[in-house]
C-alpha cells in the first residue's frame, strides 16, 4: 500500500539493499546502480516476479502476485548470497 501511496520514496525504506540488488540483477540482467530505485518501481518488479503483467487495463498488483513475488525474490537473494560466498564476495 505504501508503494501505491508514495511511489517516489527510496525503496530501501522497505527492502534491504541485497533484495533490490537481486531484483535488479534478475530483471534488468545487468549490475545494479549505486542508487536504489523508487519504491513504486520495486513494487512493480516484485509483482512481476509474482506473475503480474502490468498492462494498461490491469489494476494494481494484488496480494497473491506480491506474495509469490516476495517468495521468488527471497530465493534469488539466497542464490546470489551462495554464489558470492563461493566467489569470496558479497552483494
Task: Note the pLDDT tens digit of each residue in 42-63.
Answer: 999 999 999 999 999 999 999 9
Which residue has better confidence, 77 or 88?
77
Q: CA dist 21 to 28, 29, 45, 58, 64, Å?
A: 10, 11, 11, 27, 23
pLDDT higher than threshold 70 for residue 73: yes
Average pLDDT of the residues of the chain: 94
Calculate ∠ Cα 36-41-43, nearest 5°: 105
Residue 87's pLDDT band (cuts 50, 70, 90): confident
Q: Which long-range contacts (CB under 8 A, 24 or more apart) does 76-82 make?
A: 76/22, 76/23, 76/25, 76/26, 77/18, 77/19, 77/22, 80/18, 80/21, 80/22, 80/25, 81/18
Amino acid at each position: 500500500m505504501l508503494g501505491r501511496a508514495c511511489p517516489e520514496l527510496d525503496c530501501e525504506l522497505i527492502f534491504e539493499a541485497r533484495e533490490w540488488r537481486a531484483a535488479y540483477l534478475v530483471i534488468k540482467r545487468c549490475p545494479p546502480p549505486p542508487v536504489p530505485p523508487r519504491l513504486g518501481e520495486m513494487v512493480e518488479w516484485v509483482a512481476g516476479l509474482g506473475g503480474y503483467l502490468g498492462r494498461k487495463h490491469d489494476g494494481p498488483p494484488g496480494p497473491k502476485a506480491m506474495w509469490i513475488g516476495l517468495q521468488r525474490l527471497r530465493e534469488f537473494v539466497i542464490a546470489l548470497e551462495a554464489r558470492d560466498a563461493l566467489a569470496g564476495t558479497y552483494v
